[in-house]
Amino acid sequence: MSTLGQSNLQTSHIQWTDYTWNPWLGCVRMSAGCDFCYMHRMMQGQNSSVVTKNTGGFNKPFGIQGSQKIFTCSMSDFFIDQADAWRLDAWKIIKSTPQHTYLILTKRVGRIKNHLPPDWGIHGYPNVILGTSIEDQSVINRMVTLSKLKTVDSKFKLFLSIEPLLGPVDLIANKTLEDAFKLMDWVIVGGESGDAPIGTPGYTFYYRPCDLAWIDKIIADCKLQNIPFFLKQVGNHLANKYQLKDKKGGDISEWDPRYQIRMWP
């Protein structure tokens, strides 16, 4: 495995992307991983469960210089039904800016197939990487659903984001999972960030515990299948436990060398 540094051009606080683009804002929670979603925290005071078109930011990719990694919908879910009316226009922007790579992450993985652009075909768009997000083994079937988007001839890439990591994950627990996992081109892991330990009075957005053994197992599974792995952050629970200065994963030299893995697909 090789370790790559961050891009100098990074303007997002998210370690695995250069930019974020939010053609729409707002989302509805899907599973435990959403409980303390930062989008709801950042939109406090507004009804963050109602999705609105981001009119001012819709065309943002046209103004981004160079060739960048763009995390699409960091403040929503690209495939949420409330955005159906605007998604085709977003796909047109993606297609007409082939210099950028779009990282599209969703928990609504069952909606992807019917909401791809008409010319997606079997190869997809070369500048799009589709991903799904899980937090523990209870939602692992999202990976299986994602993997089914590919046929043997498909060229586009898929990724799995395991953040916030809330419990043990076995990506090769059975043959179905193993076959799906083999089709992943990238795995990102992160612990939960939040304002206070779960249950602390006076807070709304918590962080839950993460365990290094859970991270070790995912690293081992990725090594076994030769899938690039990226540890974004260990989360506030472990950052506090190990008294890390940078709790957001900005200084990976604070981590034990075996966790200093930041690979790209």
> 240: closest CA among 202, 218, 201, 210?
210
Residue 130, interface with ligand SF4 (CB under 6 A)?
A: no
Distances from the Cα of 72 to the Cα of 89, 129, 140, 152, angstroms:
14, 10, 22, 26
The two beta strands, 69-72 and 101-106, are parallel
Q: Is 149:112 a contact under the CB 8 Å cutoff?
A: yes
* DSSP for residue 262: B
- Interaction of residue 32 with ligand SF4, rule CB under 6 A: no
CB of 188 to ligand SF4, least distance (A): 14
3-state secondary structure 62-127: HHCCCCCEEEECCCCCCCCHHHHHHHHHHHHHHHCCCCCEEEEEECCHHHCHHHCCCCCCCCCCCC
Binding flag, residue 37, ligand SF4 (CB under 6 A): yes
Total number of residues binding ligand SF4 (CB under 6 A)?
A: 9
- If one asks whether residue 30 binds ligand SF4 (CB under 6 A), the answer comes out as yes
Q: Which is nearer to ligand SF4, 18 or 77 (CB)?
A: 77
34 in contact with ligand SF4 (CB under 6 A)? yes
CB of 144 to ligand SF4, least distance (A): 18
Q: Mask of contacts with ligand SF4, 55-94, x by CB under 6 A?
A: ---------------------xx-----------------
Q: At its nearest, how many Å lie between ligand SF4 and the CB of residue 31?
A: 8
Based on the shown chain and the rule CB under 6 A, indicate whether residue 43 belongs to the binding site for ligand SF4.
no
Q: Please, what is the angle between helix 212-225 and helix 175-182, to 10°?
A: 70
Contact footprint for ligand SF4 (CB under 6 A) = 27, 29-30, 34, 37, 39, 76-77, 107
